[in-house]
Structure 1
């Protein structure tokens, strides 16, 4: 039974890493967005809009 555990243990760790990093990335951007919204400086808002525009331009279009 130990060989079965040694076979599936690395796959289980990989599965959890893949799914946890995807969720954390999305949440991190949302938290950053909330911080930018609450910032009183207009420079920060301008930089955020440049960042959003540059990321949306580099995304592949869906056809």
Structure 2
């Protein structure tokens, strides 16, 4: 039974990693909709800083 667990363990980790990445992206999209509807300029500036920092870290994770 241990060999079966060792066979499926890497597949389970890969499955969780792929699906957790989609959830993160979805959360940022929901936040983007809220930022878009906000009239405060400070919120838009903070959002642009967040997006730029995310863009700088994304190429290293891909």
TM-score by length of 2: 0.63
Aligned position for 2:47? 48
Structure 1 or 2, whichever has the larger Rg, is 1
What RMSD, in angstroms, separates the aligned Cα atoms of the two structures? 2.3
Aligned position for 2:5? 6
Q: Please identify runs of 4+ aligned residues in structure 1 that moved more than 6 A.
A: none
Structure 1 residue 54: deviation in Å?
4.2
TM-score by length of 1: 0.62
Instruction: Note the residue ranges of structure 2 that are not aligned, 5 or more in a row.
Output: none
**Residue-pair matches, total:** 58
Aligned mates of 1:11, 1:53 — CA distance in 2:
33
Instruction: Note the residue ranges of structure 1 that are not aligned, 5 or more in a row.
Output: none
Aligned position for 1:15? 14
